[in-house]
Structure 1
Amino acid sequence: MERAGKTPWNHILWPGTLKGRLSILLVIVTITPIVLIGFTSYYWMYKVQLEKISANYQSIVNNEQEAVQKVFTNLSSVSQLLVVEGGLGADVIDYLTTNDPLDKTNLFLNIDKSLTNIIFSNPNVNALFFYLPDYTPRIQFESAPLKTEYTLGDFGKVSFEPLFGANQLTFHAPHPSALAGHDELVVSLTRTIKYRSDNIYYVYLETKFDELIHSLSDGIIGAAPSQVLVDAEGTVMYSDIPETVHTGIPFAEQSAAIKPYKLFTSSNPSGWALHSLVSLHDYQKEIKQWQWQFMLMAALSLLVTIAAASYIWRMVYRPLQRINREIKRFSHNQSERMGLQTHLQEFDMLFSSFKDMREKIVDLIMEVEQKEKRRGELEVEKLMSQINPHFLHNSLNTIQWLARANGQTEIFNLVKVFTRVLHYNLGKSSMIVTISEEIGALHDYIELQNIRYDHRFSVQVDAESGLADVPIPRFVLQPLVENALYHGLLSEQGDIRVVISRADAGFVSITVADNGKGIPPEKIRQLLEGEGSRKTGLGIGLNYVRKMLGVYYDQQAEMTIESVVNEGTRIAIVMPDRVKGEDYRD
């Protein structure tokens, strides 16, 4: 069994109200498509973006590797123009071996012109010179001034780290330029050329390296990737980040240092390879930028969906709330006119049907009220027909007793008072009188009863000033005094007090108190519920008063009975000072 005060889980997950269920359904139909479609879209778009970024970086390193290879190929092609057989090398050898000044001058001019054409037709060639170990000076025909260590030293002793070789060609790893005043890194080619059997000379060519490998990285998101060049054995020959990846050490032995990087590699058929190291922060930067864009679009989609769901919820629930408010207003005030336009055909039709039903209910209520009012009036008339014969019977008995016991004067006075009382009680005028008229009739009744009971009781009537013209149903005070007289008469000396005063604003209080023997609680209940004795007339009189108050005041009037055995009884009535729907002056 579920503990008291606890809400069952099934009521929380599936409430019993339309509002709760509609809210849950709107949340489900709103969130579910976003979660399913969003998760699927995110998963595949994430993979596509990741592959695109990886392909972009891989394409960059591939293009850079191919650019380096093209430079090496171009250097090789240019060096081919400087060989002895079929190239400029034959003129160089003739220039060095001739002793004729005119021939020497012509050969020099031809060589210089040819070298100039080669340099201009190959702008990537940064420097070019011949190294002739058997002649002085050893370096000749340089395209631009060289550094001192080349002009004064032995070029053969200048060490360049080889990257790879092919026949007479040696391709060097990146190193500083041989040109004077230039410190940029270059890649170079040294070609060994044989002439006249065992004699050799060398051709040196170089081209810039930094611009070569970094020009393709422009426009990417984040910092440019770092480049690492390795030879066929995997030894690092060049590194953009020497403090992290060290040259002269196998690249495979530096795996711990490159953990913060994403590695992309492009290998060359000659055996060397170019590695591109991308910082993980930069590598994920584009992914994060895409993720933010995706989250922004997802949030906008969610907001639009929530707004649409909220509009649907308000479009369905608010008209129901308004109709419910109109129903509650109708339950409190049937006479108020109703006006409601939801601008939705279905709800307007529902409310129109409710208005038709309301009008029929109002008509039925008015019909029932009229019938109940008429029935109450008939009950009053019926009670009057019961009370008046009873009173008349007692009065006639009194007259008979006085006729036997006394003279003509007393009988005359008795009959005179009795006639006034009988005229008031059986009058055919309006049922509504004033308090002053009701008090006057009560005095006649008291005088009549004093004659009957030989003045063994006293009745004191106190009415607050200003209440004389207050309307009141006819024949209200006499049944209350009669009740007090019935109980007070049993003692040797009875006292009855009637007090009429102003109660709260708009209300009048009537109190009748006696010092008789009192009424038992069960008897009080019977009197208030209309079950009083029919033999004595006690129940008839109070039942009449209760019915009269109900007919003319509905629930606004209240009658209470307080009684203590052997001490007395107090009957109190609080009722409005106006009687609606009656003109007591008719």
Structure 2
Amino acid sequence: MEKWKQVTFRNRMIMIFLISSLLPFICLGWISFYTIDSILDNKVESALQSNLKQDLLILENTLNNLNHVSQQLAYGGGMIRMLEQLEQEQEPYERARLLTEIKSDLNVLTFSNPNVGLLMYYYPEMDEIQFENFRVREDFDPDKLPVMASYPEMTYYGPHKSYNGSINQYVFSTMRKINVIGQDVYLYMETGRNALETLFAPQSQIQQEGNRRLLILDDQGRIAFSEKPEDYPVNAIFPGDLEQASSGYDKDFFWNREVSNQGWSIVSVLPEQELNKERNQWIIQIVGFFLVFLLLSVLFAWLLWKMVYRPLDKFNREIKSLIRSDSKDSMEVTRIPEFDYLLLQIRSMKVKIWELYADIEQKEKRRADLEVEKMLYQINPHFLMNTLDTVHWLAVMNGQKEIDKLVLSLNKLLYYNLGKLGETSTIGDEITALKEYMQLQQIRYDFAFDVDVDVDENAMSLPSPRFILQPLVENALYHGVSDDGYIHVDIKVKEQLEITIQDDGVGMSEETIQRLLEDDEVESQKVGLGIGMRYVKRMLKSNYGDQATLRIKSEKGKGTIVFLSFPITGGEETA
């Protein structure tokens, strides 16, 4: 995760784009490969199995034809009878007639069955052949022929080279024992010319690479014929598990097997690379498409990065220019509406920021001037308080109790009111200052009005903004209460601190109330109502925001009620 956090936006964007682009393609490719692989396997294996069945059918039909012909010659009464007569006949003319008749019958049988090739009778005791229909090679030896299946009276051979001296082809052959009295005679037959062209290709094609090869196994699983003798030699046991499966893999070959009704079997072997040839071609095509798609994805990712990263670079330059007030306004655009709009907003923000900087700088200068002015103004109040303190002691020394009381109350009130606004104040402090103020007013004007302060004991220690009660009571004195009137101050603790200041004065109109609550500049040059109400509103806003409430209820001739509430705790201290 930490390494990912250090990857740049450009690299992240390229990686995410490549993943989002290539992942569906990879998934689709994998699913396609799995599907195509299954289809190809089924297609190739089914084709091989189908061809092998066809080959077996052809071979079985051919051998069945030989078997049928041999049965006619072995069990037909006429041919056996003529052979027995020939064996017993001594008269030359009659022997010649029988020989001619036997050969004529054999020729008729041969010509009527084009799938029958060389045909002859073999006498193993004398190692002689008779009644052959074609010239026989001198090296005839049935013991050297590859046996496919052997039965008591008949044996199937081959494929092997034909003993027909006029052809040079591979043939299948059979040898059947003939029941002739007095001696052992065997009928030897071969398949005819081109009878197995569809099964075995010419020798020149057999040696070509990438073709199917055929093996013929006897009923014991021994190889009787092999088109791939270097890997599957004749007379060797076929290495495949013939008992458990009809197809499988051996070495670098895929093999299929079909078993005949006589027990021998035919096996096709195909190089594995030939089996996978079509699949490999498909994989090469997919890889090619993938590489092209990858290059296109990288190109589009680069274009996307260029389209996004260059505008970001412009944003970076614009943001850096914020710290330089003398930087020139750039008019560069990205030609992308969304980015151009953001650039315009940043440039507009930069202008406003520097305007704010200038305004703050101007205010700081004014603040410094005000600090000096404040120090000058603080000299007079302190001098006044020191002077009042001197008057207080002179009054005490001369026995002027009224003057002493007046000066002491004034000194305490000035000390409280001139304190720093940020200092902590409580409701108790406010009540004390309010009482000092009311005492001064009563001494000064000799009023007979009554001020009733009702405070919840739990509220005395609660925090309060400084100098918040006196302005409201002062407003009631100057603008509402007559000489014999009253002012009631009520402070209660509920969910908030609630302060109510009620008088029985002349009251005010609704327009005046709205002007006091909403207009900060009302009667700003007057002492009392305008300045006092404006100060209270600002103190509440500064300390409590929208959590504080100030309401005024009044009727002409019926007095005024000022309702004030703010949170018991919290709020920011006034700066």
TM interval, short-chain normalised: 0.3 to 0.5
Q: TM-score, normalised by structure 2?
A: 0.48
